Every structure is written in C-alpha cells, then in structure tokens.
Amino acid sequence: MKKILKGACIVAMLALAFTSCKKNDNKAHSFFATVEQTEDLVGEEDERVYITPGNNPQVYFEQGEQVLLYNIDYAGGPNSYYGVYTSRTTGPQTPFDYQSGPIIDHLERADAFFAFYPGQRVNNAYLSQNNYVIFDVPNRQTYREINGVGVLPERSFAMAAKRDDINTLVDATFPFQPIMGALVLELKTNGTPRTITSIVYEDNTFNVAGDVHVKIHEVDPVEMSWLFNNYNPDNDSYMHRLGEYLNRTGFFVDGDAYGKIITLDCGEGVEINGTAKPFNIALRPLAFHNGAKITVNFANGDKAVLSTTANCVIKPNKRRILTGINVDNYIVP
C-alpha cells in the first residue's frame, strides 16, 4: 500500500550570539537551520545527517556537522564569500555556529545567502570564477546503524537553503530543502542467516555520482524541487523549462566517480535473517526512473540480483521503500 506522510516545514526565528574563542572574531554569530519531515513512498515505487526510522521519518542534523554558508554577489565571484558553520545540537532544528571563512567580515547580504549541507563535500576553488562551486556526490556509501536500526550513510543526504529576503545573517533562519532522495531496501532470507558485504545499485538511465558543477547564485532550491518532482520528458513545455534552468546554472558533471553506479559498503558484513532489515542508499532525484539493477553480495560469494525496468523514481526528500524482498529468491549462479 502506498503511504504518503505529509511533510511539514518547521520555520522558527531565533537570534543567537556567541563569543568566539578565536582572537578578533567578536562578530562571530550563529544562524538557525530547520529541515522538513520526510515522505514515504512505500511498496511501489553515527554522525551527521540521518533519517529516523518508523512511521514518522525525520531528517536530523547531528551535532558537529558542517554547513557551508555563502554571501553571494550575482555580479561575480570576487565579491562572494563563504563560511564554515557547525551544528551545536542534534535534531531537525538546530543552531549552526561560525567556525572559519571570510564571510565573518561580510555579514550584510550582497544579493543572496545560500547554504549547503554537507559542507565537507563542497569545493570552493572556483568560487571567484562566476560563483562556480563543485559538489561531490561519491559513488561509495557506507552502511551504518543508529540505535540498532539501519539509517542513511553519513553525509549522503545533500540539502540546500537560499535566502534573498533578509539583510543580515543576524536573526536568520534557513529552511533547508533536501535535494536527495532515499532508496530503502528491506531485505530478508527464508530464515537461514546470510551476511551482506555490499549492495551495488546500477541505474538503467541516469548517472548518479560524480562532481556536480553549478553557479551557486543561479541555484534555486524551490525551482529545482519542482522540476524533479514533475519530471516529464514527453512534455515540451516542461523540457523547455528544465533546459532553461540547467543552462542558467551552468550545470555539468564530471570526475572519477562519474557514472551510473553507487555501492553501499557493508564493511565486515551485516547479517540478515527471516526478519526484514532496512538498507538505505541516498540517490539523486530521477534515479530509478526507468528501473535499475541491484546486486546484493554475500560473504560466502553468493549474489542476489534484483532487476527491474519499472518506474520507481526517486524524488527529493522522499524514501522509496521496497518491502519484503527475500534475497533467497534472487540468488544467481
């Protein structure tokens, strides 16, 4: 049965100030971040951010995680500045405190503030060249559990926020919108335990990993979410709107990880049995649109191959849950 959980964006305004331990950083301050509840698409389709399990999935920032915050000048990169901020607490609403970066001397808005998570995956080497930045989408994620339940791999769930309606970072709240979606594979056996060492996702159509280049001042999280949620390659009007947006942002992807494959590394192995266990893979929107091949590798050398051409499209801030998969039914020679 398909179950949709309504997302709720919690917006709260909070003025936060702190005294930096760094010399001459007396202007250092915090901003407040919020994030929407996640929606589930069911049956058809220990650090850092994770999604809580259960019937009310919620994206959490974790204490100590990084966000990159930009004060962007539309006219050109030389007058755009960034800062590194870290989350003070864990939760869907949390203050982020300034750590480093030239934005501390440029707190009054130029044209727009833009924030991106995870900050560790952003390369600012080309910021001065027309505000180009590079976002790293790796082709390898690592399985992890929180409180005994499988959750999203760390730093895999990219999110963004933009504010061009405030004059300063003081008293600012940034409502983050997740860019990525999640594939949740609920795997089990006939009853005899098996140990999974890795799961390889291979998309039938779209590249799902690589270095994403964009002009950060042209990124619009609202427009981007609309385009992903309403993807229709047969609609000329939609394709024109998509093309205009991609051209405006200067979007392109390259890098060593560029391709259609993402591997979930299960380390020394994760045991499954007759009770379904969730395995989470963060994926870009539109992945799985025309199906995918999923290979489950076991410690004894066996493989289970799940292959489909069905449209199980991944959407921003949504979990695509594939339930009740008995891997013993898909073992290949």
Residue 16 belongs to some domain of the structure: no
Q: Judge whether residue 3 has pLDDT over 90.
A: no
Peptide bond into 138 cis (omega under 30): no
Mean pLDDT of the chain: 83
Residue 158 belongs to some domain of the structure: yes
**Given the structure tokens 């891997």, which residue do they identify?**
327
Residue 5 belongs to some domain of the structure: no
**How do residues 175-198 score in pLDDT, each as one tens digit?**
988 888 899 999 999 999 999 999
Residue 72 belongs to some domain of the structure: yes
> What is residue 76's predicted lDDT score, i.e. its pLDDT?
78
Classify residue 223 as exposed, middle or buried by CB count within 10 Å of its CB (0-12, 13-18, 19+). middle
- Selection from 4-8, 50-54, 246-250 with the highest mean pLDDT: 246-250
Q: Using DSSP, how many helices (H) and how many strands (E) does the chain show?
A: 2, 25
Q: How far is CA 285 from the centre of its chain?
A: 10
Q: Judge whether residue 94 has pLDDT over 80.
A: yes
Domain count, the chain: 1
> pTM value?
0.81
Domain that holds residue 243: 30-332
Within 10 angstroms of residue 116's Cβ, the number of other Cβ atoms is: 25
**Binning pLDDT at 50, 70 and 90, where does residue 40 land?**
low
- Selection from 141-150, 228-237, 257-266, 281-290 with the highest mean pLDDT: 257-266
> What is residue 36's predicted lDDT score, i.e. its pLDDT?
65
Residue 183 belongs to some domain of the structure: yes
56-71 average pLDDT score:
82
Residue 6 belongs to some domain of the structure: no
Q: Judge whether residue 59 has pLDDT over 90.
A: no
78-89 average pLDDT score:
93
Residue 196 belongs to some domain of the structure: yes
Q: Judge whether residue 26 has pLDDT over 50.
A: no
Q: Judge whether residue 23 has pLDDT over 50.
A: no
Q: How many Å is the Cα radius of gyration of the chain? A: 21
**Binning pLDDT at 50, 70 and 90, where does residue 18 land?**
very low
The closest of 219, 107, 85 to 167, measured between CA atoms, is: 107
Distances (CA, A) of 319 to 6, 21, 44, 110, 284: 13, 41, 11, 36, 12
Cβ atoms of 46 and 146 within 8 Å: the answer is: yes
Residue 13 belongs to some domain of the structure: no
200-213 average pLDDT score:
94
> What is residue 243's predicted lDDT score, i.e. its pLDDT?
92
| Distance in angstroms (rounded) separating the CA atoms of residues 231 and 239 | 8
> What is residue 159's predicted lDDT score, i.e. its pLDDT?
87
Q: Judge whether residue 105 has pLDDT over 60.
A: yes
